Amino acid sequence: MLLHGRVGLRRGQVAGLRRSDCHLLPDSRALGCDHKGPHVHVRRRDNANRAWSKSKKEWEQPLDFLVVQAFDLYVDERHEILGAGGSDFLLVNLFSEPLGAPMRPDALNELFDRLTERAKLARKVGPHMARRAFGSNVADAGGSLDEVQALLGQSHPESARPYLIPDRARLREAVERVPSPRGLLGRGEQRWRRPCPRCTSRRMPAHSRSSPPWTRSSWRCCGGTGT
């Protein structure tokens, strides 16, 4: 689930990952890789489990600390069940036959369905929805469109737009950034507010004579009371 929701991979890319694709150390030069920080290599291959990367290109996808921790827990559990050997595929069957066989892409959907039912969610959550959430979360955290595009493995920035669903809090912040008319009033009132007809304390500015009819709220002297 984290490889979809925290890394943004497609289900074919997740099911096609090999253990040799996963570089979890801060420095992977000992493995012949110059890419800094924990990451996975996303590659297109002809896999026995029919996992297929939609993108033709190969790239390195960064991993955060939460995903690295999950990797450690998974590797320990896998070792307890299968031992040190087994398939080079990262995700294999641990609780169903045949043990150690690579997981199929549709098995990831089945896993999401079971977890959705267990959590009693109002709607089903699938791998693609988790991937969309990743793109939106990157944008909500300040990521630019080209960053979202690169992390989702899209070929063009516009391809990433459907994945950008703004968080409700970000929408509220956008509304609250719009200046209030009351805030603008203090900066411009001496230029356009005029005295009421009952008060002659000030003359109407010359540029205001052609303005629309004034209301009591626009009188700057006595508020229309004549006092």
Measured distance CA(108)–CA(192) in Å, rounded: 65
147 inside domain? no
User: Which residue range(s) make up the domain with 85?
Assistant: 2-122
Distance from C-alpha of 1 to C-alpha of 128, rounded to nearest angstrom: 11
Q: Find how far residue 92's CA is from the centre of its chain.
A: 28
Asked whether the whole model's pTM tops 0.75, one would answer: no
- CA-closest candidate to residue 144, choices 131, 160, 132: 160
To the nearest 10°, report the CA torsion of 34, 35, 37, 40: -120
Q: Which amino acid is at 138?
A: V
pLDDT at residue 85 in the model: 74
pLDDT value at residue 163: 67
| Average confidence (pLDDT) per 10 residues, the chain, 227 residues | 95 96 94 94 93 90 95 95 88 91 94 93 92 88 86 78 72 74 57 53 46 48 52
For 203, half-sphere exposure in the C-beta direction (CA atoms, 13 angstrom radius) is 3
Residue at 132 is within a domain: no
What residues have CB less than 8 Å from 205, skipping those under 6 apart? 191, 192, 194
The secondary structure of 21-37 as a DSSP string is GEE-SS--GGGT----S
In a domain, 104, yes or no: yes
Total domains in the fold of the chain: 1
**138 within a domain of the structure (yes/no):** no
In a domain, 167, yes or no: no
Residue 27 lies in a domain: yes
Beta strands, E only, 39-174: 39-42, 59-62
Q: Is residue 157 part of a domain?
A: no
pLDDT at residue 187, as a whole number: 54
Residue 172 lies in a domain: no
Residue 25 belongs to domain with CATH number:
1.10.443.10
| pLDDT reported for residue 196 | 58
Number of neighbouring beta carbons within 10 Å of residue 98: 7
The pLDDT score that the predictor gives to residue 147 is 87
Query: How many angstroms from the chain centroid is the CA of residue 25?
Result: 25
